[in-house]
Every structure is written in C-alpha cells, then in structure tokens.
Amino acid sequence: MSYEEISMLGEKHLINVYNRLPLLLERGEGTRVWDSEGNEYLDFVAGIAVNSVGHCHPNVVEAVREQAGKLIHCSNLYHIESQAKLAEKISELSFGDKVFFGNSGTEANEAAIKLARRATENNEIIAAEGSFHGRSLGSLSATWKNRYRGPFKPLVPGFSFVKYGDIEELKNRVSGETAAVILEPIQGEGGVNVPPEGYIEAVREVCDDTGTLLIFDEVQTGMGRTGRWFGYQHYDVEPDIISLAKSLGGGFPVGALVARKEVAEAFTPGDHASTFGGNPIACTSALATIKTIEQEGLVERSRELGSYMRNQLKKIGEENSWVYEVRGKGLMIGFETDGKAQEIVDNALEQNVLLNKVSDDVIRFVPPLTVTKKEIDKVVSLIG
Ligand SMILES: Cc1ncc(COP(=O)(O)O)c(C=O)c1O
C-alpha cells in the first residue's frame, strides 16, 4: 500500500489522538530509519528515548526471533525463565531487590502508586510541577500539565504538586498522610529539567525524616540514557521505588516497578497483576538489550557523547541570542530557544533528520546511545 492509502486508512479508522508527521517509517537499522519511498533519515528521536541500542540491533532481533519460535506468551500463573532472569539483572544494576513487570511507563507508575499506598497505608502522593508520569488515571493524577489532566477530572484524589527544585515547599507539604513523593530525576516532557544541586538529596532527607517513600520515575531516564544506568545514580541517594519502561525492552513493550524488599513485601498475591506483564518475548528482548548496553559500553558512551553534544550545542548558544540554554545529562539533552523549536524540527526533517520538541521553545535530543560523533556533528551543524 502507498503512503497516501495508509494515511487515509488510518485517518478513517484510528482514533485521532496523535498529531502525526507525513511520514511512514518502514525499516530501521542503528541510528537510521527508512520511509516508504526509500528515503533515509537520521533518527534523534529513537521512539522517544526507546531505541537505546539503535533500531533492530542484531542481538535483540536474534533473541526475539529465537524466543518467538519457542514460547510467545504464557500466563503469570506459571514460572517464566526470562522474567526471573531480567528481575535478577535489574536488581544487580540498581538499588532494588524485587521487580514487578508491566507493559508501559504509565502501568509501572500505577503499580508504584498502588505499592506506595499499600506499604504506608497512606493515600497522599506529592508530585512536581512540570512532571509527566503517563495517561492512565493514577499516573495522570500525578502529571502536571492541565492540557492532559483538565478534560478528565475528577482525577484520583490525594495528589498534589510542589515546585520542582523547591525543598521548602516540599517540607511544608509532606504530612502524616503522605504515602510518597514521585519525581523524575531529570524531567523529560516538562522540558529536560535538571534539578538544582542538592535538591534530590534533600528530598531523600525529608522522606527519611517523615517515613515517606521516594519514587523515582525512571521511565525516560533509565537504562543508561543519562550516562548512568539510572538517573538517581547521579545523586548521592537511593530511592524506595523506581519505575522503568521505554528503552528497557530495546523497542519491545516492557515496563517495570522496582522496589526495596521491605517495601515490595507490602504486595501480596491478588494485590496487582498484568496479563502480558513479564511476557517471555518482552523479557528476552530486555535481557538482550541490557547485555548489548554492557558489551558495547553504551552507558559510558552516553555520558561521553552527551557531554560532547552539549558542548557543541553551547557553542551555537555563544553565537546566537535566540538560544537560551543547553541542559541535560548523558544523551538526554534539552535545547531551549526563543520559540524556535518547530522551525528547527521542520528544517531538520527537510534534511532527513528526525528531531523532537517538547514545547514551542525546547528541543529534546534522545538519539540511540550508539550514535556517533559524526552524526552528532551533522545534527549540530543543521541547527547552528
Ligand atoms: C517520565 C515518564 N513517565 C511515564 C511515561 C509514560 O510512559 P508510557 O507512554 O509508556 O505509558 C513517560 C512517557 O513519555 C515518561 O516520559
């Protein structure tokens, strides 16, 4: 089918919740994707921070193929080898002892919110202004933007917001009713916002002093994106719970809730479940992705190339007053401009480069962690 036929078919039958670009992607390899006309694009969106090991990495393709030929799905009524192994691997890499698997970021956060309520027997959750935690009603209740929340009120009771970075406001907000504070270690959708120095450590202290759980939403920052395995590892703290998704499965849908043992034990059989959560192919894909990140040193690469890209972008800022700020960690980079985000995205697309904006002002760069310096130079030269 042609692009025109497919886009018309979608317009007729798909519910209209996405603003799609006029592009039909058919194939991907590494940092490159190809459209239905055979045009090649350099992909600095990577499924919005999903394709961390690049498109169709041979390790992931091979692992998924092999698993698909053995067992595509079985219920959590039974034991699943790749699920247990993936939980072990995530525990090794993180603070966590126990893992629950779902299929997406919003589900991971739903599970985190439920676990926090169950473990503390409190109901209130404090989130941050600028946050994004997902679209299901619990996660949406912790999401800041009124455009997303407003049309769906009433939301889940017990959620409130404090200014991201303002420790005094948080201190005043936490009460005997607070179950948890939920934060992104670096805010993604909110504009790639890095918290002020000392803030995350101070949040941990407030939580410790008041018996409040600390949840980090690592859906976007996790799995090496920021130059550490997890965003929280940039700070001198350990959370009680994290949520993961996006790049965890290397492109295959998988989400996870990770918790300290004492917190995780609040859940007992029947408290939570997911039919597809921890599916054999999803977990096999995630294991192959993590192995690839380790083998190819992609966490370090993210740190080094992220720093390189930020420096190159800052040079544009030195010469152009319309650049306000370059920020981020590793290969999660925000480029704040004076209202030029759409123009930059459109111009890049004309030059066969895929970029993503999170607002009228801010471009978010989240390329595969396998990206090369030469590719970064190409993108930077398009902007500057
Ligand atoms: C920090 C964060 N949390 C949660 C989500 C929701 O993830 P999903 O779209 O997989 O439900 C996102 C998605 O962009 C995210 O960036």
The CATH number of the domain where 258 resides is what? Answer: 3.40.640.10
The protein residue with its alpha carbon nearest to ligand 1, atom 9, reads 105
Q: Is 289 annotated as a binding residue?
A: no
* Active site (annotated) includes residue 114: no
Q: Which helix (H) or strand (E) holds 197?
A: none
- What DSSP letter does each residue of 94-142 carry, written as one string? SS-SEEEEESSHHHHHHHHHHHHHHHH---EEEEETT----SSHHHHHT
Q: Is 31 among the domain residues?
A: no
Q: Which residues, listed in sequence order, are joined to residue 334 by a DSSP beta bridge?
A: 327, 364
Q: How many CA atoms lie within 13 A of 168 on its CB side?
A: 0
* Residue nearest ligand 1's atom 7 by CA: 105
Classify residue 53: in a domain, yes or no. no
Same domain? For 120 and 223 the reply is yes
Q: Which residues contact 178 (CB under 8 A, 6 or more apart)?
A: 120, 122, 124, 125, 126, 210, 212
In a domain, 345, yes or no: no
Q: Rounded to an integer, what distance in angstroms lies between the CA atom of residue 371 and that of residue 268? A: 43
The span from the CA of 352 to the CA of 34, in Å, is 10
Q: For residue 154, is the peptide bond before it cis, meaning its omega torsion is within 30 degrees of 0?
A: yes
- What is the extent of the structural domain holding 74? 59-295
Per-residue pLDDT of the chain in tens (384 residues, 90 and over written 9): 999 999 999 999 999 999 999 999 999 999 999 999 999 999 999 999 999 999 999 999 999 999 999 999 999 999 999 999 999 999 999 999 999 999 999 999 999 999 999 999 999 999 999 999 999 999 999 999 999 999 999 999 999 999 999 999 999 999 999 999 999 999 999 999 999 999 999 999 999 999 999 999 999 999 999 999 999 999 999 999 999 999 999 999 999 999 999 999 999 999 999 999 999 999 999 999 999 999 999 999 999 999 999 999 999 999 999 999 999 999 999 999 999 999 999 999 999 999 999 999 999 999 999 999 999 999 999 998
Do 280 and 303 lie in one domain? The reply is no
- Give the per-residue pLDDT at 32: 98
Dihedral, CA of residue 290, residue 218, residue 138 and residue 255, to nearest 10: 0
Alpha helices of the chain — where are they, by DSSP H? 3-13, 46-49, 58-70, 81-93, 105-120, 137-141, 146-149, 167-173, 199-210, 261-264, 280-295, 298-319, 341-350, 373-383
Q: What is the pLDDT of residue 143?
A: 98
Candidates 95, 100, 101, 132; catalytic one: 132
User: Is residue 246 annotated as part of the catalytic site, yes or no?
Assistant: yes
The Cα 127–Cα 82 span in angstroms is 33
List Cβ neighbours of 108 (8 Å cut-off, separation of 6 or more): 102, 219, 243, 244, 245, 255, 256, 257
Please indicate, yes or no, whether residues 383 and 257 belong to a single structural domain of this protein.
no
Look at residue 8 in the predicted model and tell me its pLDDT: 97
Interatomic CA distance for residues 199 and 188, integer angstroms? 17
Same-domain pairing of 137 and 236: yes
Environment class of 35 (CB within 10 Å of its CB; exposed 0-12, middle 13-18, buried 19+): middle
What's the DSSP call for residue 297?
Answer: T
Same domain, 136 and 248: yes
- State in Å: Cα 4 to ligand 1 middle: 30
Q: Are residues 92 and 189 in the same domain?
A: yes
The ligand 1 atom nearest the CA atom of 135: 11
Secondary structure (3-state) at 194: coil
Length of the chain: 384
Q: Is position 132 annotated as part of the catalytic site?
A: yes
Q: Are residues 312 and 217 in the same domain?
A: no
pLDDT of residue 44: 98
Question: Is 72 found in the same domain as 163?
Answer: yes
Give, for ligand 1, the residue of 103, 220, 242 to mutate: max count of ligand atoms closer than 8 Å to Cβ.
220
What is the best residue among 106, 192, 247, 248 to mutate for testing ligand 1's pocket, by most ligand atoms within 8 Å of CB? 106
Say whether both 66 and 83 belong to one domain: yes
**Looking at the structure, do residues 277 and 320 belong to the same domain, yes or no?**
no
Confirm whether residue 218 is marked as ligand binding: yes
In a domain, 49, yes or no: no
Q: What is the dihedral of CA 82, 84, 86, 92, to 10 degrees?
A: -150
Residues forming a β-bridge with 328: 333
Same domain, 286 and 146: yes
Provide the token pair at 324.
């306000």
